[in-house]
């Protein structure tokens, strides 16, 4: 589990779209689509630049990858 902790210290506090796409293993276009649909947490716009808070994105990923409770 040290991998996620190492990732947290290696990434900047705010990620650019290319970094988010790399982390999610998807395309820039897919990331922009997720942003338009409000599917990514921690999105901040600074003028024309889109930034994503690393801690919120990583927390969201952990929640999304958690197994769902059995019914």
At how many degrees (to 10) do helices 17-24 and 54-65 cross?
20
Residue 54 · residue 9 · CB < 8 Å:
no
Alpha-carbon distance of 54 to 60, in angstroms, equals 10
Per-residue pLDDT reduced to its tens digit, 19-36:
999 999 999 999 999 999
Residue 20 lies in a domain: yes
The CATH number given to whatever domain includes residue 14 is: 1.10.10
Reported as type and span, the H/E element at residue 27 is: none
When divided into structural domains, the chain yields a total of 1
Which residues of the chain are under the pLDDT cut of 70?
Answer: 1-9, 66, 68-71
pLDDT of residue 52: 97
Residue 71 lies in a domain: no
Residue 70 lies in a domain: no
> Both tokens of residue 32?
């922009």
Tokens 């790399």 — which residue? 22
């Amino acid at each position: 589990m040290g991998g996620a902790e190492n990732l947290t210290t290696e990434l900047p506090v705010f990620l650019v779209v290319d970094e988010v796409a790399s982390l999610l293993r998807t395309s820039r276009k897919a990331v922009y689509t997720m942003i338009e649909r409000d599917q990514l947490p921690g999105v901040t716009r600074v003028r024309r630049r889109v930034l994503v808070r690393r801690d919120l994105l990583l927390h969201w990923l952990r929640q999304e990858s958690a197994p769902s409770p059995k019914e």
